[in-house]
């Protein structure tokens, strides 16, 4: 469902969540998915599967704030940390959190990499329509963004659930075990940006952390893992 609220904004409703979208921010493909209800559909199903009351959630790549809102409604807003590199999306995300009553979700600006020195920044490519924006892409509009170390973020927030769509940056997150009480991890992988050996490294690292393939949350390039529960847990 779409509702025009001003000459420049529209409101879309998906799964009980209201998403405001400023004119010109998204491309036609995103708008079509918002209209037919398929926008971030796999990610929304992952939240329903993975997030439980009291769980801490780390979301890397917040988009319009839809998935973070769903997660906050299942746990508590203060348990959710969303990270977004695209500065154009930050006010949109905050507004969408607020309009859905989850303004206490923590929102951090920056691009998450395997390791980042204090104060480090990098050039970030802003794609037309905002999806596909990423580190390392050449040409087009470039903005300087803070870099955030993944393992430092994991240690600080200690998430039970990690949800990520970071356009290939995930390749740098699996060099050592994650220091957190991880229960579920769902990510979009990007095989066009790295070789099959990187996908194997991701799967091997998850296995070493006692995580196994989750067929419920996996679909196409969406790869889900869940904790291997011990008997009686």
Tens-place pLDDT, residues 52-100 = 999 999 999 999 999 999 999 999 999 999 999 999 999 999 999 999 9
What are the boundaries of each domain within the chain? 39-227
Q: How far apart are CA 210 and CA 5, in angstroms?
A: 48
* pLDDT computed for residue 230 by the predictor: 66
Q: Dihedral, CA atoms, 91, 95, 96, 98, nearest 10 degrees?
A: 140
Q: What is the average pLDDT across 30-48?
A: 95
Write the burial class of residue 162 (CB in 10 Å: 0-12 exposed, 13-18 middle, 19+ buried).
Answer: buried
Residue 185 in this model has a pLDDT that exceeds 70: yes
Helix, strand, coil: what percent of the chain each, to 5?
A: 30, 30, 40
Nearest to 67 by CA among 31, 30, 28, 93: 93
Is residue 184 within 8 A of residue 214, CB to CB? The reply is yes
> Domain spanning 39-227: which superfamily?
Vaccinia Virus protein VP39 (3.40.50.150)
Q: 233: pLDDT confidence band, cut at 50, 70 and 90?
A: very low
């Amino acid at each position: 469902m779409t509702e025009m609220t001003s000459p420049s904004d529209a409101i879309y409703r998906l799964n009980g969540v209201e998403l405001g979208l400023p004119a010109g921010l998204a491309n036609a493909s995103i708008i079509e998915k918002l209209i037919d209800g398929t926008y971030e559909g796999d990610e929304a199903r992952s939240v329903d599967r993975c997030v439980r009351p009291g769980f801490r959630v780390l979301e890397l790549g917040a988009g319009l704030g839809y998935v973070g809102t769903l997660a906050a409604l299942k746990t508590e807003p203060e348990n959710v940390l969303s990270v977004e590199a695209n500065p154009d999306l930050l006010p949109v995300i905050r507004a969408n959190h607020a309009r859905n009553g989850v303004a206490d979700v923590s929102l951090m600006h920056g691009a998450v990499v395997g390791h980042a020195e204090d104060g480090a920044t990098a050039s970030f490519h802003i794609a037309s329509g905002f999806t596909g924006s990423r580190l390392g892409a050449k040409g087009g509009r470039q903005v300087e963004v803070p870099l955030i170390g993944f393992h430092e973020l994991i240690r600080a927030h200690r998430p039970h659930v990690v949800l990520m769509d970071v356009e290939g940056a995930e390749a740098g997150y699996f060099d050592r075990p994650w220091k957190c009480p991880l229960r579920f991890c769902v990510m979009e992988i990007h095989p066009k940006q790295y070789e099959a050996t990187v996908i194997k490294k991701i799967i091997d690292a998850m296995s070493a952390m006692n995580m196994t393939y989750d067929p419920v949350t996996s679909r196409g390039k969406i790869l889900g893992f869940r904790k291997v529960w011990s008997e009686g847990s």
